[in-house]
Amino acid sequence: MLSIIQAAGWPIWPLIACSVLALALIFERFFSLKSSKVVPPKLLNEVLGVSRTGIPSSDVITQLEMNSALGEVLASGFRAVQINPNCSEADLRAQMEGSGRIVAHRLERYLSALATIASSAPLLGLFGTVVGMIEIFGAQAPSGSNPVQLAHGISIALYNTAFGLIIAIPSLIFWRYFRARVDAYLLTLELAADRLARHLASLPRKV
Protein backbone atom coordinates (compact mmCIF):
# COMPACT_ATOMS: atom_id res chain seq x y z
CA MET A 1 0.00 0.00 0.00
CA LEU A 2 2.83 2.38 0.84
CA SER A 3 4.43 1.68 -2.51
CA ILE A 4 1.18 2.59 -4.27
CA ILE A 5 0.97 5.87 -2.34
CA GLN A 6 4.55 6.65 -3.25
CA ALA A 7 3.89 5.83 -6.90
CA ALA A 8 0.78 8.05 -6.91
CA GLY A 9 2.80 11.07 -5.78
CA TRP A 10 1.80 13.97 -3.56
CA PRO A 11 -1.65 14.56 -5.21
CA ILE A 12 -2.86 11.35 -3.54
CA TRP A 13 -2.74 12.87 -0.04
CA PRO A 14 -5.88 15.06 -0.41
CA LEU A 15 -7.68 11.96 -1.69
CA ILE A 16 -6.52 9.92 1.31
CA ALA A 17 -7.79 12.68 3.62
CA CYS A 18 -11.15 12.62 1.81
CA SER A 19 -11.36 8.83 2.12
CA VAL A 20 -10.70 8.94 5.89
CA LEU A 21 -13.27 11.71 6.37
CA ALA A 22 -15.87 9.93 4.22
CA LEU A 23 -15.38 6.70 6.17
CA ALA A 24 -15.77 8.52 9.48
CA LEU A 25 -18.95 10.24 8.28
CA ILE A 26 -20.45 6.99 7.02
CA PHE A 27 -19.85 5.20 10.34
CA GLU A 28 -21.19 8.20 12.29
CA ARG A 29 -24.37 8.38 10.20
CA PHE A 30 -24.94 4.63 10.49
CA PHE A 31 -24.76 4.96 14.27
CA SER A 32 -26.86 8.15 14.51
CA LEU A 33 -29.58 7.08 12.06
CA LYS A 34 -30.47 3.79 13.71
CA SER A 35 -34.22 3.30 14.04
CA SER A 36 -33.97 2.95 17.81
CA LYS A 37 -32.45 6.43 18.02
CA VAL A 38 -34.84 8.13 15.62
CA VAL A 39 -38.23 6.39 15.40
CA PRO A 40 -38.64 3.46 17.83
CA PRO A 41 -41.40 1.29 16.32
CA LYS A 42 -43.75 1.08 19.33
CA LEU A 43 -43.16 4.55 20.81
CA LEU A 44 -46.13 6.33 19.23
CA ASN A 45 -48.65 3.71 20.38
CA GLU A 46 -47.18 3.78 23.88
CA VAL A 47 -47.46 7.57 23.99
CA LEU A 48 -51.06 7.50 22.80
CA GLY A 49 -51.86 4.86 25.42
CA VAL A 50 -50.26 6.83 28.27
CA SER A 51 -52.05 10.03 27.28
CA ARG A 52 -55.45 8.45 26.74
CA THR A 53 -56.83 9.93 29.98
CA GLY A 54 -54.79 13.13 30.06
CA ILE A 55 -51.41 14.76 29.73
CA PRO A 56 -48.60 12.77 31.44
CA SER A 57 -46.42 14.29 34.15
CA SER A 58 -43.41 16.50 33.45
CA ASP A 59 -41.01 13.68 34.37
CA VAL A 60 -42.60 11.36 31.84
CA ILE A 61 -42.46 14.07 29.16
CA THR A 62 -38.77 14.69 29.91
CA GLN A 63 -38.03 10.98 29.58
CA LEU A 64 -39.94 10.92 26.31
CA GLU A 65 -37.97 13.91 25.03
CA MET A 66 -34.68 12.12 25.74
CA ASN A 67 -35.85 8.82 24.25
CA SER A 68 -35.38 9.56 20.53
CA ALA A 69 -35.98 12.08 17.77
CA LEU A 70 -39.62 10.99 17.59
CA GLY A 71 -39.94 11.35 21.37
CA GLU A 72 -38.54 14.88 21.14
CA VAL A 73 -41.20 15.89 18.61
CA LEU A 74 -44.04 14.27 20.56
CA ALA A 75 -42.84 15.79 23.84
CA SER A 76 -43.02 19.26 22.30
CA GLY A 77 -46.74 18.70 21.73
CA PHE A 78 -47.28 17.71 25.36
CA ARG A 79 -45.33 20.75 26.55
CA ALA A 80 -47.50 23.01 24.42
CA VAL A 81 -50.61 21.65 26.17
CA GLN A 82 -48.91 21.96 29.57
CA ILE A 83 -48.16 25.63 28.94
CA ASN A 84 -51.59 26.36 27.49
CA PRO A 85 -54.21 23.67 28.22
CA ASN A 86 -56.64 25.36 25.81
CA CYS A 87 -54.27 25.72 22.86
CA SER A 88 -55.77 24.95 19.48
CA GLU A 89 -54.86 22.03 17.26
CA ALA A 90 -53.14 24.49 14.91
CA ASP A 91 -50.92 25.68 17.77
CA LEU A 92 -50.07 22.07 18.63
CA ARG A 93 -49.09 21.38 15.04
CA ALA A 94 -47.00 24.54 14.85
CA GLN A 95 -45.15 23.62 18.04
CA MET A 96 -44.37 20.12 16.81
CA GLU A 97 -43.40 21.40 13.36
CA GLY A 98 -40.86 23.70 15.00
CA SER A 99 -39.42 20.80 16.96
CA GLY A 100 -39.48 18.69 13.80
CA ARG A 101 -37.37 21.24 11.93
CA ILE A 102 -34.73 21.08 14.67
CA VAL A 103 -34.75 17.27 14.50
CA ALA A 104 -34.59 17.33 10.69
CA HIS A 105 -31.53 19.57 10.81
CA ARG A 106 -29.86 17.09 13.17
CA LEU A 107 -30.75 14.09 11.00
CA GLU A 108 -29.34 15.78 7.89
CA ARG A 109 -26.08 16.72 9.61
CA TYR A 110 -22.92 15.76 7.69
CA LEU A 111 -24.88 14.63 4.61
CA SER A 112 -23.81 17.75 2.71
CA ALA A 113 -20.18 17.01 3.64
CA LEU A 114 -20.52 13.47 2.30
CA ALA A 115 -22.08 14.79 -0.91
CA THR A 116 -19.22 17.28 -1.26
CA ILE A 117 -16.67 14.48 -0.98
CA ALA A 118 -18.56 12.45 -3.57
CA SER A 119 -18.49 15.33 -6.04
CA SER A 120 -14.99 16.62 -5.31
CA ALA A 121 -13.09 13.29 -5.23
CA PRO A 122 -13.23 12.82 -9.04
CA LEU A 123 -12.01 16.40 -9.46
CA LEU A 124 -9.09 15.73 -7.12
CA GLY A 125 -8.36 12.59 -9.11
CA LEU A 126 -8.47 14.64 -12.31
CA PHE A 127 -6.06 17.10 -10.75
CA GLY A 128 -3.69 14.23 -10.02
CA THR A 129 -4.08 13.11 -13.62
CA VAL A 130 -3.10 16.57 -14.85
CA VAL A 131 -0.05 16.52 -12.56
CA GLY A 132 0.87 13.13 -13.99
CA MET A 133 0.51 14.44 -17.54
CA ILE A 134 2.82 17.33 -16.69
CA GLU A 135 5.35 14.79 -15.43
CA ILE A 136 5.00 12.85 -18.69
CA PHE A 137 5.58 15.93 -20.84
CA GLY A 138 8.48 16.91 -18.61
CA ALA A 139 10.08 13.56 -19.34
CA GLN A 140 10.36 14.47 -23.02
CA ALA A 141 13.61 16.10 -24.06
CA PRO A 142 15.46 16.63 -27.39
CA SER A 143 18.00 14.03 -26.34
CA GLY A 144 15.25 11.50 -25.60
CA SER A 145 12.73 10.69 -22.90
CA ASN A 146 13.51 9.85 -19.31
CA PRO A 147 11.95 6.39 -18.71
CA VAL A 148 11.89 6.77 -14.93
CA GLN A 149 10.17 10.15 -15.04
CA LEU A 150 7.82 8.94 -17.77
CA ALA A 151 6.76 5.91 -15.70
CA HIS A 152 6.34 8.07 -12.62
CA GLY A 153 4.07 10.48 -14.52
CA ILE A 154 1.94 7.63 -15.83
CA SER A 155 1.59 6.12 -12.34
CA ILE A 156 0.57 9.49 -10.89
CA ALA A 157 -2.08 9.96 -13.58
CA LEU A 158 -3.57 6.47 -13.32
CA TYR A 159 -3.44 6.01 -9.54
CA ASN A 160 -5.03 9.38 -8.81
CA THR A 161 -7.81 8.81 -11.33
CA ALA A 162 -8.53 5.40 -9.82
CA PHE A 163 -8.40 6.65 -6.22
CA GLY A 164 -10.74 9.53 -7.07
CA LEU A 165 -13.34 7.11 -8.44
CA ILE A 166 -12.86 4.60 -5.62
CA ILE A 167 -13.66 7.33 -3.09
CA ALA A 168 -16.44 9.06 -5.05
CA ILE A 169 -18.56 6.02 -5.93
CA PRO A 170 -19.08 4.63 -2.38
CA SER A 171 -19.53 8.17 -1.02
CA LEU A 172 -22.28 8.84 -3.56
CA ILE A 173 -23.97 5.51 -2.85
CA PHE A 174 -23.99 6.07 0.91
CA TRP A 175 -25.11 9.69 0.52
CA ARG A 176 -28.13 8.57 -1.50
CA TYR A 177 -28.84 5.81 1.00
CA PHE A 178 -28.70 8.15 3.99
CA ARG A 179 -30.70 10.80 2.12
CA ALA A 180 -33.50 8.29 1.44
CA ARG A 181 -33.36 7.07 5.03
CA VAL A 182 -33.67 10.58 6.45
CA ASP A 183 -36.59 11.36 4.10
CA ALA A 184 -38.37 8.23 5.31
CA TYR A 185 -37.76 9.20 8.94
CA LEU A 186 -39.07 12.72 8.35
CA LEU A 187 -42.25 11.33 6.82
CA THR A 188 -42.73 9.06 9.84
CA LEU A 189 -42.18 11.99 12.22
CA GLU A 190 -44.69 14.11 10.32
CA LEU A 191 -47.37 11.41 10.38
CA ALA A 192 -46.76 10.71 14.08
CA ALA A 193 -47.01 14.41 14.95
CA ASP A 194 -50.26 14.69 12.99
CA ARG A 195 -51.71 11.70 14.81
CA LEU A 196 -50.71 13.04 18.23
CA ALA A 197 -52.10 16.50 17.42
CA ARG A 198 -55.49 14.99 16.58
CA HIS A 199 -55.33 12.83 19.70
CA LEU A 200 -54.52 15.74 22.02
CA ALA A 201 -57.18 17.91 20.41
CA SER A 202 -59.78 15.25 21.25
CA LEU A 203 -58.91 15.18 24.97
CA PRO A 204 -61.13 17.05 27.44
CA ARG A 205 -59.82 20.60 27.97
CA LYS A 206 -59.97 22.85 30.98
CA VAL A 207 -62.51 25.64 30.81
Cα gap 6→152, rounded to integer Å: 10
In a domain, residue 207? The reply is no
Q: Given this model, what pLDDT does residue 207 score?
A: 47
Q: Which domain holds residue 85?
A: 2-201
In a domain, residue 20? The reply is yes
In a domain, residue 206? The reply is no
In a domain, residue 79? The reply is yes
H/E run at residue 123: helix 111-138
Cα dihedral across residues 39, 181, 183, 33: positive or negative: positive
For residue 161, how far is the Cα from the chain centroid? Answer: 26
In a domain, residue 31? The reply is yes
First to last CA, the chain: 74
3-state secondary structure of 90: helix
In a domain, residue 173? The reply is yes
What is the chain's pLDDT, residue by residue, as a tens digit (207 residues)?
A: 667 666 667 888 899 999 999 999 999 999 999 999 999 989 999 898 888 888 888 898 899 999 999 999 999 999 988 888 888 888 888 999 999 999 999 999 999 999 999 999 999 988 888 888 877 776 665 565 666 777 777 788 888 888 999 999 999 999 999 999 999 999 999 999 999 988 888 876 654
Q: Specify the number of domains making up the chain.
A: 1
Cα gap 207→201, rounded to integer Å: 14
Q: Which residues contact 21 (CB under 8 A, 6 or more apart)?
A: 113, 117
Give the amino acid at 36.
S
